[in-house]
Copies of this chain bind each other. A is one copy, B any other.
């Protein structure tokens, strides 16, 4: 059943050479290949071998799409919402994962809970999405507010952005797990990949 799924390399504990070796091998098998958590050095190494690989420095991803790549669904889309500049890398990881899965997403990057007019300004567009990913650090309250305004599945992604009692993301995570809003599920801290992957599966239900 792995048909229609990208091959994914978790780059976090691998050397540039290891990543490049695996990446290139999978490319020669004509598959969609995604690598996450890649350092600039690893990206250089891979792109030397596979010039068609697309590097996203913000999200720390590398994506190779073979000729046979095509969108699995052109009418449904995933909304990716986040608040501040610091959360964008996690949002980007989710977005590139969605692309690797063959789906489409739309980004909403300046939506903060303490400046709620920005959310309302884009609410209609947000409500037109079929699945939502909400990325938030600090108090992690955004999924609760958004969740109360939509009726589609919402995946909340806590980030490690914060300080002091933020405890590297534990605060955002706890907040999301205890949301008053219905329809919210949660993934690990900074796990943009996991959110993008699960959201894509939801589009296929």
Residues of B within 8 A of A96 (CB): none
Q: How far is the CB of A196 from chain B (nearest CB, A)?
A: 10
- The answer to whether A47 has its CB under 8 Å from any CB of chain B is no
Q: In chain B, what residue has the closest Cβ to A152?
A: B201
Residues of B within 8 A of A175 (CB): 139-141, 171, 174-175
A139 with B185, Cβ < 8 A, contacts A114-B147, A164-B169 known: no
**CA–CA, A176 to B138, complex, Å?**
9
CB <8 Å contact, A138 and B173: no
Contact of A141 among B13, B144, B185 (CB under 8 A): B144
For this complex, into which size category does the number of interface residues on chain A fall? 35 or more
CB <8 Å contact, B162 and A171: no
CB <8 Å contact, B178 and A162: yes
**CA–CA, A150 to B115, complex, Å?**
11
The residues in A between 118 and 148 inclusive whose CB is less than 8 angstroms from any CB of B are 130-131, 138-141, 144-145, 147-148
Between-chain CB contacts (< 8 Å), 16 pairs: A114-B148, A114-B181, A140-B178, A141-B175, A153-B198, A164-B189, A165-B170, A165-B173, A165-B177, A166-B188, A174-B174, A175-B175, A184-B194, A185-B195, A186-B186, A186-B187
The chain A residues found within 8 Å of chain B, CB to CB, are 1-2, 5, 8, 12-14, 18, 76, 83, 85-86, 112-116, 130-131, 138-141, 144-145, 147-153, 155, 158, 160-191, 194-195, 197-198, 201-205
